[in-house]
Amino acid sequence: MPRRKRTFLVVGVVLMVVLAVWIVLALNCPSAGIAVPVRARDLHRLKNRTSLPQVADFDSRVTLDALLQRGNDTHRWSTDRAARIQGVVIDVAYAGSEAANCFHPCRRDIHILISTRREAPKSEHVVLEVTPKLGDWAASQGIDWSEQTLQSQLVGKWCEFEGWLYFDVGHAEESENIAPGNPENWRATAWEVHPITKITVIR
């Protein structure tokens, strides 16, 4: 067999194997997602938590105003704790495909942006996230946490959210608390409620 054909054959086989592995992972994505570094796998597990926080897990110091407090907040809170916060919902939208969800295009987190007022600039937005795993759990409870439903029910409303605290290292430099004054900032803090485990519309 000519060398060029052998090369094409090998490349084709490799691509087929990679595609097969991705399909298997995408359909049965583990809590560690797709990652090689141990640190990345650990962060993915935090994002993909499915346990519901108990009373003792909540840090009562965490409020929307506390999350918006300026200053380097990298170590201000703990990812071992949960939070219950209230704010007005600015927007609800799908996030992009990511390694934590095995890059499955139909299994994406849903971003919920909240602040203290509707006209707040992006540098005063706090990010909360519904994960596919918790979306599935909600559906099993008869609750619709689809992007379309959350968009129609929450935007412009004052709501209360519960869930686990998570520090999104990948977006820290795009947060006002870590990089103050950066015109590219699209969030107040890298701290999130992620995953959300309860949503209540207050008014």
Domain boundary assignment for the chain: 46-201
Whether residue 26 is predicted with pLDDT greater than 90 in this model: the reply is no
Whether residue 13 is predicted with pLDDT greater than 70 in this model: the reply is no
**Contact indicator for 40, 48 with CB cutoff of 8 Å:** no
**Contact indicator for 146, 104 with CB cutoff of 8 Å:** no
DSSP summary character for residue 2: -
Q: Quote the CA–CA distance of 130 and 189 in Å, as a whole number.
A: 18
**For the chain, what is the radius of gyration of the CA atoms?**
19
Is 2.60.40.10 the CATH number for 46-201?
no
Residue 126 tokens read as 């706090």
3-class secondary structure, 191: strand
pLDDT digits (tens, 9 = 90+) for 84-128: 999 999 999 999 999 999 998 889 999 999 999 999 999 999 999
**Single pTM value for the model:** 0.87
What are the distances in angstroms from CA 74 to CA 40, 138, 189, 191, 192? 17, 30, 9, 8, 12
Q: What band does 28 get if pLDDT is binned at 50, 70 and 90?
A: confident
